[in-house]
């Protein structure tokens, strides 16, 4: 059984053990969810050893700063519950399966992430104690010392689909990165047979000296390349390409070929339109030969206009025929002016993605229907204007998760212009929502008509609201820089002292 962490005191252990001790008569809806998630996500436990099963479980937030763990009365899950409580998701699952173990065995001792697929990289931390400092938006982290995987979610309904998605991606990753044993090649037999034949044919010939061969090789390699004539438009293409490949990593890709099917189709369309114009001119000449009336030649002035109109229909006709009978392979490969295949990832860029702060101004919108909705919300049709759409927190969170799994970091900064003008109950509800979803926020006071009151100046209230939040963040940044210079440590005691 794993040993308890040395940093946990006896009082803290007693508090945590209350979260893992549940009697059968105390079951409620949270226990139903715990049992369902554990049963669905821990199916490999039937085939795992007992020492591996004992450290897996599910942790669910029941209320603020209180989590419930399943299986109950398992001291091995005490560090897991403590780490999840500091991470503060809605639900977290700890997995130890064959796929997780195989994936962790493939990483090196200094690797800090695993590329599950082309667009998904998951962080690797050393111990479960480092989980609170992990990148929260990735919703997953591999634990190196325990060879386990911790997944978490800020929505209870998405936890099971998230585990299934990771399981499928891990299986594909392991199969894709497997080391295939090479088959025995007939190199030995083919090397023996020619030597026997050669020994029978060239019995009386002298074997060339190795020094002679080494002297002849440079002579072959030192042959000068044929010089190009003075009218050649290529000047040292190999040297130039090598220099570009060495200097710019983006130009190391293969050279793209020039496909001229598009100009060919356009030329066919123009030729078809010109044929129609020529046939019309031929009819005019035939009629002139019969009655010698030159007045009809005035229609030649309309030929350029008719050509410009008819070329559109001719191009459409040629294009449709080319799609039916012509080649289509060029639409699935890269060419000089067309890209159908995604570029290869650049490790230098992917490992240095910038941090992004998403600034989101809100006012008195409904927290449940507008701010925290799972999709972009259409505001109700008002008398003053039409529908308006606004991004919600959960839709932004999905984009943040995608960016985090690509190697970047991001944060949401809400400029709440209506918090201080709402009721106290609504204020507490918004503060709890922001705290549970790791959202920073500012809230300026309401407009006051008193001489010494706060003035919300400006006609553009959202812009002034965001500027107010940015000014506070700049002042806070100066204060934090001062604390860093003073050497203040980031501990709960120092934070409470600074707050006072």
Rounded average pLDDT over 330-346: 85
The residues of the chain that CATH labels 3.40.225.10 are: 10-176
464 burial type by CB count under 10 A (0-12 exposed, 13-18 middle, 19+ buried) = middle
Q: How far is CA 52 from CA 5, 42, 97, 159, in A?
A: 18, 12, 9, 22
Higher pLDDT, 456 or 245: 456
Rounded average pLDDT over 142-169: 91
Lowest-pLDDT choice from 7-11, 97-101, 172-176, 247-251 = 7-11
Residue 190 makes CB contacts below 8 A (sequence gap 6+) with none
C-alpha to C-alpha distance for 429 and 275, rounded to whole angstroms: 75
Residue 250, pLDDT above cutoff 70 = no
C-alpha to C-alpha distance for 244 and 237, rounded to whole angstroms: 11
Rounded average pLDDT over 228-235: 41
**What tokens appear for 368 in the block?**
């449940």
Tally Cβ neighbours within 10 Å of residue 64.
9
C-alpha to C-alpha distance for 493 and 495, rounded to whole angstroms: 5
Higher pLDDT, 212 or 330: 330
Nearest Cα neighbor of 296 from 307, 284, 306, 305 is 284
Q: How far is CA 146 from CA 80, 109, 149, in A?
A: 11, 14, 9
Residue 151, pLDDT above cutoff 90 = yes
Higher pLDDT, 96 or 51: 96
Higher pLDDT, 288 or 52: 288
C-alpha to C-alpha distance for 394 and 64, rounded to whole angstroms: 20
The secondary element (H helix, E strand) that includes residue 36 is helix 29-41
pLDDT at 271: 95
Rounded average pLDDT over 133-144: 91
Give 338's DSSP letter: B
Rounded average pLDDT over 450-474: 82
Domain 10-176 falls in which CATH fold? L-fuculose-1-phosphate Aldolase (3.40.225)
Name residue, tokens 């995987």. Answer: 149
Nearest Cα neighbor of 57 from 99, 10, 96 is 96
C-alpha to C-alpha distance for 61 and 68, rounded to whole angstroms: 6
Residue 385, pLDDT above cutoff 50 = no
Would you place residue 12 in the very low, low, confident or very high pLDDT band (cuts 50, 70, 90)? very low
Residue 347, pLDDT above cutoff 50 = yes
Express as a percent the part of the chain with pLDDT over 70: 72
Rounded average pLDDT over 236-263: 63
Higher pLDDT, 108 or 199: 108
Nearest Cα neighbor of 413 from 386, 389, 383, 443 is 443
Higher pLDDT, 3 or 76: 76
Rounded average pLDDT over 306-323: 94
Lowest-pLDDT choice from 26-40, 41-55, 393-407, 427-441 = 41-55
Would you place residue 386 in the very low, low, confident or very high pLDDT band (cuts 50, 70, 90)? very low
Rounded average pLDDT over 220-243: 46
Rounded average pLDDT over 47-52: 61
- Mean pLDDT, all residues of the chain: 76
| Beta strands at 120-125 and 113-117: parallel, antiparallel or unpaired | antiparallel
Say if residues 405 and 119 touch (Cβ distance below 8 Å).
Answer: yes
Would you place residue 132 in the very low, low, confident or very high pLDDT band (cuts 50, 70, 90)? very high
Lowest-pLDDT choice from 60-69, 242-251, 367-376 = 242-251
pLDDT at 380: 29
> What digits encode the pLDDT tens for the residues 87-96?
999 999 999 8
Rounded average pLDDT over 313-329: 92
Give 369's DSSP letter: I
| Beta strands at 140-143 and 113-117: parallel, antiparallel or unpaired | unpaired
Would you place residue 326 in the very low, low, confident or very high pLDDT band (cuts 50, 70, 90)? confident
Give the 3-state secondary structure of residue 401: helix
Higher pLDDT, 359 or 197: 359
Rounded average pLDDT over 130-158: 91
Rounded average pLDDT over 113-127: 88
pLDDT at 421: 83
Rounded average pLDDT over 196-221: 45
**What tokens appear for 464 in the block?**
């002034």
Give the 3-state secondary structure of residue 249: helix
Residue 412 makes CB contacts below 8 A (sequence gap 6+) with 357, 358, 360, 393, 396, 397, 400, 437, 438, 439, 440
**What tokens appear for 79 in the block?**
């560090």
> What digits encode the pLDDT tens for the residues 397-414?
888 988 998 888 899 999
Residue 341 makes CB contacts below 8 A (sequence gap 6+) with 332, 333, 334
Q: Pinpoint the alpha helices (H) of 180-296.
A: 187-201, 210-221, 237-247, 261-291
C-alpha to C-alpha distance for 20 and 78, rounded to whole angstroms: 8
Q: How far is CA 162 from CA 154, 166, 217, 481, in A?
A: 11, 6, 61, 39
Residue 490, pLDDT above cutoff 50 = yes
Say if residues 441 and 413 touch (Cβ distance below 8 Å).
Answer: yes
pLDDT at 224: 52
Would you place residue 307 in the very low, low, confident or very high pLDDT band (cuts 50, 70, 90)? very high
pLDDT at 191: 42
C-alpha to C-alpha distance for 18 and 365, rounded to whole angstroms: 39
C-alpha to C-alpha distance for 410 and 396, rounded to whole angstroms: 10
Per the DSSP assignment, residues forming a β-bridge with 150 are: 94, 141
pLDDT at 14: 47
Residue 295, pLDDT above cutoff 80 = yes
């Amino acid at each position: 059984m794993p040993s308890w962490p040395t940093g946990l005191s006896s009082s803290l252990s007693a508090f945590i053990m209350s979260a893992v001790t549940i009697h059968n008569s105390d079951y409620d809806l949270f226990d139903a969810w715990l049992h369902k998630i554990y049963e669905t996500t821990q199916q490999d436990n039937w085939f795992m050893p007992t020492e591996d099963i004992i450290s897996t479980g599910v942790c669910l937030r029941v209320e603020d700063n209180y989590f419930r763990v399943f299986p109950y009365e398992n001291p091995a899950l005490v560090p897991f519950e403590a780490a999840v409580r500091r991470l503060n998701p809605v639900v977290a699952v700890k997995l130890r399966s064959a796929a997780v173990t195989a994936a962790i065995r493939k990483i090196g001792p200094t690797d800090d992430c695993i590329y599950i697929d082309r667009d998904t990289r998951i962080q690797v931390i050393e111990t479960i104690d480092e989980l609170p400092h992990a990148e929260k938006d990735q919703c997953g982290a591999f634990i190196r010392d325990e060879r386990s995987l911790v997944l978490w979610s800020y929505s209870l309904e998405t936890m099971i689909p998230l585990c299934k998605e990771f399981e499928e991606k891990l299986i594909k990753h392991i199969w894709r990165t497997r080391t295939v044993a090479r088959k025995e090649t007939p190199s030995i037999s083919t090397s023996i047979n020619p030597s026997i034949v050669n020994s029978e044919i060239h019995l009386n010939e002298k074997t060339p000296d190795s020094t002679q061969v080494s002297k002849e090789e440079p002579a072959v390699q030192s042959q000068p390349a044929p010089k190009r004539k003075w009218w050649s438009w290529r000047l040292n293409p190999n040297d130039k390409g090598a220099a570009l490949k060495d200097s710019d990593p983006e130009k190391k890709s293969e050279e793209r070929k020039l496909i001229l099917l598009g100009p060919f189709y356009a030329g066919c369309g123009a030729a078809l339109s010109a044929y129609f114009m020529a046939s019309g001119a031929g009819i005019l000449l035939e009629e002139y030969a019969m009655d010698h009336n030159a007045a009809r030649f005035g229609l030649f002035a309309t030929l350029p206009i008719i050509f410009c109109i008819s070329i559109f229909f001719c191009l459409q006709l040629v294009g449709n025929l080319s799609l039916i009978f012509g080649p289509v392979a060029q639409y699935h490969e890269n060419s000089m002016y067309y890209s159908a295949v995604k570029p290869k990832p650049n490790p230098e860029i992917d490992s240095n993605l910038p941090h992004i702060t998403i600034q989101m101004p809100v006012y008195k919108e409904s927290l449940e229907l507008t701010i925290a909705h799972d999709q972009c919300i259409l505001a109700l049709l008002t008398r003053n204007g039409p529908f308006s759409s606004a991004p919600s927190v959960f839709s932004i969170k999905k984009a943040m998760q995608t960016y985090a799994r690509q190697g970047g970091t991001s944060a949401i900064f809400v400029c709440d212009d209506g918090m201080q003008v709402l009721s106290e109950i609504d204020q507490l509800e918004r503060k709890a929502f922001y705290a549970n979803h790791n959202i920073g926020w500012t809230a300026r006071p309401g407009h006051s008509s008193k001489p010494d009151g706060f003035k919300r100046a400006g006609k553009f209230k959202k812009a002034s609201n965001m500027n107010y939040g940015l000014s506070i963040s700049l002042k806070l940044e100066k204060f934090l820089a001062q604390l860093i210079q003073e050497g203040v440590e980031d501990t709960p005691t120092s934070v409470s002292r600074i707050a006072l």
